[in-house]
Amino acid sequence: MLLKRLTTAFLCCAILQILAVVAVPFGGAAEDTSSPTLNQQNCGQRNYQGKLPIDSRLYEHPWLARFGYNRNGNVTYLFQGALIHELFVVTTVFATKFTDYGRLAFVRLGEFHSTTDPDCQIIKAGDRETCAPPTQDIAVDVTIVHPGYDPYEQVNNIALVQLSKPAKITPPSVLPICINQDVEPEAALLLVASWCGRRETGLSEIPKQYIMVHKNPRQCRDLLKGYSLKQDDNMFCVVLDSRYKPINASIPEPNLRGSTGAPVVTTQFEDRIHLVGLLSYGPRYPAKFEEPYIITSVAPYYDWMLSTIETVIARFGEKA
């Protein structure tokens, strides 16, 4: 399923999600939606309502994880995943096997501004500046690739990154995201939020946010003419919403460079953010505005994720 010009390498550190502009009181209660292992009580907590600015805000993506690649003691943070349990981040296989900057060694949680720590921002006009807790850099214990992953067809492109110790769940800074098994991507409102940018400018210092539009398989094939892509039932494709198309040629188009493994999310269920998929492939840089991005849906893998995590937790209990 490799494409002539589609690539996993530098998609744009992205999450797809629907968040917004008016602050919601932090720490609000959320009702339990699923198993005690996944979809815990505080998962997917929304900290904003209303309009969606392109520049994200503090606490808007508390499940967003960045990966640190270690080469001879030099750690480079790139690509993403989503925190789904205090011990696990879900991402694409490519993000776990990427070695251009060394081996995958760390997961960073609670990141907002990539050049400051702690991160501070005025959440609501007239309020004092709010500062988040320091970021959490946690060593990777092991990566668990889906047993059905095919590196040639690129199907079952999903992996779990197991942390060496539990993340500190510190609302509203660090929280797991909810996983909904009933999401229909074609009917869901989707958004990309990520540290991304053009090659000439580098990745953004804070996550950018873009609403995405679902395309059905026929539309996707039409947009991918000239590409050799095999899209299976566990994938779908999206394009940037037309509102982001520049009004003239002098303005650079948005680019999702660097986003392999980024979560795709929606707010279609209750008042929570739910994980829908993972950004797997995209046009090789520089992408044209209308070119699609291929998403791996997570719903078909819910049982695999749950059983894998519960097996690890049981082993932890045996060692205790």
Residue 92 domain flag: yes
Other Cβ atoms closer than 10 A to 96 = 22
Mean pLDDT of the 86-112 span: 97
Cα-atom radius of gyration of the chain, to the nearest Å? 18
Q: In this structure, are strands 258-259 and 12-15 parallel, antiparallel, or unpaired? A: parallel
Residue 16 domain flag: no
Whether the pLDDT of residue 62 is over 60: the answer is yes
Residue 257 domain flag: yes
Using alpha carbons, list the distances in angstroms from residue 181 to 23, 164, 302: 28, 28, 7
Task: Give the count of domains, the chain.
Answer: 1
Residue 14 domain flag: no
Residue 10 domain flag: no
Whether the pLDDT of residue 304 is over 90: the answer is yes
Q: What is the pLDDT of residue 8?
A: 52
Q: What is the pLDDT of residue 224?
A: 77
Instruction: Kindly report, residue by residue over 239-271, the tens digit of the pLDDT.
Output: 998 898 888 877 888 888 888 899 988 877 668
Report the alpha-carbon distance of residue 253 to residue 10 in Å, rounded: 16
Mean pLDDT of the 165-190 span: 90
* Helix, strand, or coil (residue 194): strand
Residue 12 domain flag: no
Residue 38 domain flag: no
Mean pLDDT of the 215-238 span: 80
Mean pLDDT of the 61-86 span: 96
**pTM, to two decimals:** 0.88
Whether the pLDDT of residue 232 is over 60: the answer is yes
Distance of CA 250 to the CA centre of its chain: 30
Q: What is the mean pLDDT of the chain?
A: 84
Residue 269 or 194, more confident: 194
Contact yes or no for 109/167 (Cβ under 8 A)? yes
Q: What is the pLDDT of residue 246?
A: 85
Other Cβ atoms closer than 10 A to 124 = 9
Outline where 57-207 has alpha helix (H).
Answer: 93-97
**What CATH number does residue 116 fall under?**
2.40.10.10
Residue 250 domain flag: yes
Domain range for 219 is: 64-318
100: tokens are 């251009």
Whether the pLDDT of residue 18 is over 60: the answer is no
Cross-strand pairs, 272:
45
Residue 15 or 38, more confident: 38
Contact yes or no for 229/58 (Cβ under 8 A)? no
